[in-house]
Structure 1
Amino acid sequence: MNILFRADASLAIGSGHVMRCLTLAHVLATAGAKVSFACRALPGNALDLIADQGFVVHALPAVYPGEVAEVDIEAALDWQADIDALRAVLSAQAQFDWVVVDHYGLDAHWQQAARQYAQCIAVVDDLANRGHAADLLLDQNLSALHADYTRLLPNHARALLGPRYALLRPAYRGGATMVSPVARRVVVSFGGVDAGGETFKAMDALADLPDLEVDFVAGAANPAWAGLVQKAEGKPQWRLHRHVADFASLMRQADLFVGAGGGTSWERAALGLPTLCIAVAPNQVANAEHMAAAGAQLYLGEAGQVTVAGLREAIRLLAGNHGLRRSLSQRSGQLVDGLGAQRVAAALLAQGLRLRPATQDDARLLHEGRNAESVRRWSLQTAPIPWDRHLAWLAASLLNPDRRLLVAEASDGPVGVLRYDHTGAGRAEVSIYLLVGREGLGWARAMLQRGDQHIKQYWPDLLAIDAIVRPDNLASLGLFRQAGYVQADCHFVRHLEADPTSC
Structure 2
Amino acid sequence: MRSKLYIRTDGSSSIGLGHLVRCIALARMLSNDFEIFFACKQIPDSIAGEIETDGYHLIRLKNDDDLTSILSPTDLVVIDSYELESDYQKSIKLIGCGLICIDDLHEKTTYADLILNHTPGVSPSEYSAQSYTQYALGPKYALIRPAFLNLAKKGRAHIKNESVLICFGGSDSRNLTKLALEVVLGTKRFKKIFVVTGAAYAHHDSVNKIPGAEQHVFHYRNISAEDMAQCMSEVDLCIVPSSGILTEALTSGAKIISGMYVENQRFVFENYKKSNAFISAEDFTRENLTDAVENYFSQEPGTNQQLIDGFSGNRIQNLFQQLLYEKDFALRDLAIGDAELTYKWAVDENVRKYSLSKGKIEFEEHISWLKRKLHDPQCRFYIASFSGESIGTIRFDIADQEAVISYLLDPAYHGKGLGATLLKRGILSFSNAPYFVNRISGIVMRENISSCKTFERFGFAKQSDGENYKYTMYIDDENRKI
TM-score (norm 1): 0.66
1:163 maps to amino acid = P
**RCO higher in 1 or 2 (8 Å CA, sep ≥ 6)?**
2
Taking the aligned partners of 2:407 and 2:100, their CA distance within structure 1 comes to 34
Letter in 1 for 2:89: Q
The total of aligned residue pairs comes to 388
Indicate yes or no: 2:108 matched with 1:126: no
1:200 maps to 178
2:311 to 339, 357, 360: 339
Correspondence for 1:443: 417
Q: Is the 8 A contact 1:419 1:430 kept in 2?
A: yes
Give yes or no for the alignment of 1:22 onto 2:1. no
1:248 Cα shift? 1.5
State the distance in 2 between where 1:163 and 1:2 align.
Answer: 27
Unpaired stretches in structure 2, ≥5 consecutive residues: 330-350, 354-383, 394-405, 428-441, 472-480
Please report how far the alpha carbon of residue 41 of structure 1 lies from its aligned counterpart in structure 2 after TM superposition: 3.7
Report the equivalent of 1:368.
none
| Structure 2 equivalent of residue 237 of structure 1 | 216
Cα deviation for residue 205 of structure 1 reads 0.7
Counterparts in 2 of 1:473 and 1:94: CA distance versus 1, 3 Å: closer
Letter in 2 for 1:157: T
Q: What residue is the counterpart of 2:136 in the other structure?
A: 160
The aligned amino acid for 1:13 is I
CA positional deviation for 1:352: 2.2
**Structure 1 residues 429 and 104: CA distance shift in structure 2, 3 A:** closer
Aligned partners of 2:28 and 2:146 also within 8 Å: no
Q: Does 1:171 align with 2:153?
A: no
How does 1:406-485 map onto structure 2 within 5 Å?
430=409, 432=411, 443=417, 445-446=419-420, 449=423, 472=447, 474-479=449-454
SS of the equivalent of 2:178 reads: helix
1:82 and 2:58 equivalent? no
In the alignment, does 2:8 pair up with 1:6? yes
Q: State the Cα distance separating 1:10 from its structure 2 match.
A: 0.3
Report the CA distance between 1:288 and its aligned residue.
1.5
| Comparing 248-257 and 95-104, the one that deviates more | 95-104
Judged with a 3 Å threshold, the aligned counterparts in structure 2 of structure 1 residues 17 and 35 are, in CA distance, closer, same or farther, namely: same
- Aligned 8 A contact 1:468 1:491 in 2: yes
Amino acid at match of 2:197: A
Conserved? CA contact 1:47–1:59, under 8 Å: no
**Aligned partners of 2:48, 2:230: CA distance in 1, in Å?**
26
1:94–1:234 distance in 2 versus 1, CA, 3 Å: same
CA RMSD of aligned residues (A): 4.2
Separation in structure 1 between the aligned mates of residue 392 and residue 72 of structure 2, nearest angstrom: 38
Give the letter for the 1:107 counterpart.
E
5 Å-filtered alignment, 1:259-338, equals 259-303=240-284, 306-307=285-286, 309-319=287-297, 321-323=299-301, 325-326=302-303, 329-330=304-305, 333=306, 335-338=307-310
Helix, strand or coil at the partner of 1:258: strand
Is the contact made by 2:420 and 2:454 (CA closer than 8 Å) also made in structure 1? no
Contact 1:120 1:135 in 2 (8 A): yes
In structure 2, relative to structure 1, the CA distance for the partners of 1:179 and 1:196 (3 Å cut) is farther
- Structure 2 counterpart SS, 1:196: coil
Measured in 2, the distance between the counterparts of 1:16 and 1:272 equals 21
Cα distance in 1 for partners of 2:214, 2:312 equals 39
Provide the residue aligned with 2:50 in structure 1. Answer: 49
Q: Do the aligned partners of 1:175 and 1:271 also contact (CA within 8 Å) in 2?
A: no
Question: In structure 2, the residue corresponding to 1:221 is in which secondary structure?
Answer: coil
Instruction: Say if 2:156 and 2:252, in contact at 8 Å, map to a contact too.
Output: no
Cα contact 1:98–1:118 (8 A) shared by 2? no
Write the distance in 1 (CA, Å) between the matches of 2:469 and 2:184: 61
Corresponding residue SS for 1:46: helix
The question of 1:100 aligning with 2:78 is answered yes
- The normalised TM-score by structure 2 is 0.68
Contact map agreement 2:25 2:146 (CA 8 A) in 1: no
For 1:258, the equivalent position in structure 2 comes to: 239
Give CA deviations for 1:30-67 in whole Å, capped at 9, x if unaligned: 2x211101112456773222212211001124xxxxxx
Q: CA deviation at 1:318?
A: 1.1
- Asked if the contact 1:188/1:258 (under 8 Å) is kept, the reply is yes
Task: Tell whether 2:166 aligns with 1:188.
Answer: yes
Q: Deviations over 1:447-491 (max 9, x none)?
A: 6559989xxxxxxxxxxxxx9998556455444676899988469
2:375 aligns with none
SS of 1:288's equivalent in the other structure is: helix
The CA distance in 2 between the partners of 1:260 and 1:249, in whole Å, is 19
Q: Which residue of 1 aligns with 2:370?
A: none
1:232–1:3: structure 2 CA closer, same or farther, 3 Å change rule?
farther
Matched, 1:35 2:36: yes
Note closer, same or farther for the CA distance 1:202–1:476 as it changes in structure 2 (3 Å cut): same
| Deviation sequence 1:294-321 (CA, Å, 0-9, x none) | 2221111123xx21x4423422431452
